[in-house]
Amino acid sequence: MDKRTEIIIGATPVFEAEGFRGIGIDRVIAPSGASTRTLYKHFGSRDGLVTAVLEARHHGFMQQLEAEPWQDDPVGSMFDSLQLWLTSHGARGCMLLRARSEYAGASEEIVELVRRQKSEFVAEVQRRILAALGRHDAKLSTQVWLLFEGATASASVVGVSVIEDAKEAALSLIASAQAGKK
């Protein structure tokens, strides 16, 4: 594994547990054993490392979504993927949204990155709604997305089991939309 990847892997749980802006850079790079000089060589800045961590997190989650068989249950399988993700990575809410909150007003680049990542996820929700209904439904896509984001946040408070409730609600919405098109 190259040093850049080691730094990202080491920094991710530190940022996840302790936040982005209120933690010293020495603490962030300690798990990888990297020096500050090595950090700047690979990322240019602390924000460059944050960007790389957020990109890796988003890419990893999107890969997991795609890897799960979903054709038979395009919407429910998203929630199954979320449950697997949170079980293995920890239920602390959405790392991307927490980064956006911490960097609002401080880094337009990071805020824009999170906006693009969330837009990409919304497009995935829309694709799955299309697969489930055979037609686009922007309102339903937004509702399912909100249930997904809410479940992600709620799992950090009440536990991962709340995802099953969100999945059930999403599937009820899908069933209602399917019944309405007939």
| CATH number of the domain that residue 74 is part of | 1.10.357.10
For residue 20, is it within any domain? no
110 is a domain residue: yes
In a domain, 3, yes or no: no
Spatial contact of 22 and 15, defined as CB atoms under 8 Å apart: no
Taking phi first (over 0 means left), then psi (-120 to 50 degrees means alpha), and beta for anything else, what does residue 35 get? beta
State pTM to two decimals.
0.91
Residue 82 lies in a domain: yes
Residue 43 domain-assigned (yes or no): no
Per-residue pLDDT tens listing for the chain (182 residues): 899 999 999 999 999 999 999 999 999 999 999 999 999 999 999 999 999 999 999 999 999 998 888 878 999 999 999 999 999 998 999 999 999 999 999 999 999 999 999 999 999 999 999 999 999 999 999 999 999 999 999 999 999 999 999 999 999 999 999 998 64
Structural domain of residue 93, as residue ranges? 55-181
Report if residue 24 sits inside a domain. no
Q: Is 113 helix (H, G, I), strand (E, B) or coil?
A: helix
Task: Give the count of alpha carbons within 13 A of 87, CB side only.
Answer: 10
